Structure 1
């Protein structure tokens, strides 16, 4: 039986053992609904409070600025649809959670403007500065999920605030992987998702700067300070906090190790005389490696790697009749012959140097 090499960590990550074990207590023993007043609910209530404090500490927020959601997509939709601004500005390379939410609000009468990026995926500052109107919302992702490019969020937030507007960042690919300090960045809203940083699926959070007003996305009970209805998923919230604290406490070591894996992968490919184009900016998420191979099909590369026990993603979306180049690769104006042959290899702390050597060797065999 061939050994599995999982190299699609930008899609989801292996759950932390400690986080997984912590969930069981709140599923099997302390399973009370935290909204209930009896003493049996006290343990779950305390755990919820501690988890909120832990997450806030990890991003330098206050606990009352952390609101639990079901995922990053919900957090993104909440900001786009709940913000009271009549104009929204976003980029052409955002996740579909933002782009499709913008389509929804545009159909309801809001104005939506799209900011272009250069060929490394960096936002065009001048265009944003020239187009931006007062009392608007700007949503720019911190790190791109396909090519890893990290945006200069602090500078972008300053431009937005200079125009008396609000700034949101989708930090789903960043939180738990690079330093994120909401006070230093001065963002107004920030989205995150646990399963991207070794937590469970189906849980995330939204940071809302204290004093800002936003309409609820979901109507119902008075949970989350009456802003997000629904019984709190205590088990997953506790696990999310543990996973995030684990990653942030080891952040520098993880970043160094994962960048080392990425460097080893690229060097091995070069040593095997593999011809490829590496997408994204110099400043990017460690381990998020977007590679394009001229004249090849990304779908074909993905499936041939899969046959060898290697899991990666592709830069194209395939249906039964045609292959579509992703909106991100189109936005960075990547030549079609390269764009169609794009794969994303995303590494994390659980990968090894043996893994990246194997990936490089199999890729070399396929494309040469």
Structure 2
């Protein structure tokens, strides 16, 4: 697929060379990390080295890291706290793995750029004396909008609440500092940053009463039963280290994204860049083209050998209007005409050229006949 252009990095990133090497190297190790003999100790060392690398990416300590089967599992475990029956408030633009965990969750509204309405959050927290667990994405997976986590944490903590952040799309794109953000819980996923699929992490400060989703073993300090995925964890750790080292380079992707958006608006003045009025990560652009449904756009791009997406990639391949965009106030027709373009560390000017050329053909459908 050498002639394909991959612009769907928010769905999954290609496996980094460092992660591939760590993963393959770990596959050659015999031994269960729970075993006390030398083979087991070497496997345990791989897991603990990775734990340190994950913690470093998140500005946390290794003791705060519990490995999971991915970001979705981490989110589910975070919101299923034991021993503390807190009400749950979630951002209206959260990923489905947060929105669908508890039926009693109350949505916190966002403004037209996708930023949490802090006054509404404070009012919801003050409306009930029962403490709350609040879950807010650090970076939205569809628009790339960055929340001001520290200011939101101050509001949550002032009302006796705990703050969880799905930081899956923040990792490797912006610096993460769990303590400075004020997060009590934080979720990560390996495959979004060039690690293997099927591994993630939940980080928690001391004193948060987490409950294991899987029981029947003492692994991960009794927080996740079952033999650890040593190879996946080793690859995750290597991807975290590489992502942390490459943060400055990732920021430079904004030059490619801005060039793409400038061309998009020049070729189709009716198009809208969703979330452009808020801080965004450098790699993400959500573009709505009135009158051209997202599925039609996706098919045109795919036929041209270009991979983009519409909304989240976690909906079994279905294309439907985005709850994120509707929560931001977009009408159904416009929300259904939005696509997501997401870049990565090896995206090039040539990739942008290919996208613009295809976009020009799609946008021609909206221009008045000569």
- Matching residue of 1:12: 12
SS in 2 for 1:302: helix
SS in 2 for 1:190: strand
**Matches of 1:283 and 1:85, distance apart in 2:** 34
Report the count of equivalent residues: 356
Which whole-Å deviations, capped at 9, do the CAs of 1:275-327 have from their partners, x for residues lacking one? 4100014301211110000111100100110000000001499x9xx974211
Q: CA deviation at 1:266?
A: 1.4
**Matches of 1:367 and 1:273, distance apart in 2:** 6
SS in 2 for 1:262: helix
Q: Answer yes or no: is 1:135 the counterpart of 2:131.
A: yes
Which whole-Å deviations, capped at 9, do the CAs of 1:319-361 have from their partners, x for residues lacking one? 9xx9742111111111333222111011111110110121011
Q: CA deviation at 1:135?
A: 2.1
Q: Calculate the aligned-residue CA RMSD, in Å.
A: 1.8
SS in 1 for 2:80: helix
SS in 2 for 1:242: helix
Match of 1:117 among 110, 123, 146: 110
In the superposition, the TM-score normalised over structure 1's length comes to: 0.93
Q: CA deviation at 1:80?
A: 0.9
Give matches, 1:96-245, under 5 Å.
Answer: 96-103=96-103, 106=104, 112-132=105-125, 133=128, 134-245=130-241
Stretches of 4+ moved more than 4 A in 1?
none
Conserved? CA contact 2:116–2:147, under 8 Å: yes
- Matching residue of 1:352: 348
**Matches of 2:217 and 2:359, distance apart in 1:** 52
**Matches of 2:335 and 2:160, distance apart in 1:** 38
- Matching residue of 1:268: 263
Q: Answer yes or no: is 1:41 the counterpart of 2:36.
A: no
Gaps of 5+ in 2: 365-370
Q: CA deviation at 1:159?
A: 0.6
Q: CA deviation at 1:45?
A: 1.1
Which whole-Å deviations, capped at 9, do the CAs of 1:22-55 have from their partners, x for residues lacking one? 111221x213110111112221111111111121
Gaps of 5+ in 1: 107-111
From the superposition, tell whether residues 316 and 44 of structure 1 become closer, same or farther in structure 2 (CA, over 3 Å): closer
**Matches of 1:273 and 1:89, distance apart in 2:** 38
Conserved? CA contact 1:316–1:323, under 8 Å: no
Conserved? CA contact 2:141–2:312, under 8 Å: no
**Matches of 1:271 and 1:279, distance apart in 2:** 16
Match of 1:278 among 273, 282, 299: 273
- Matching residue of 1:109: none
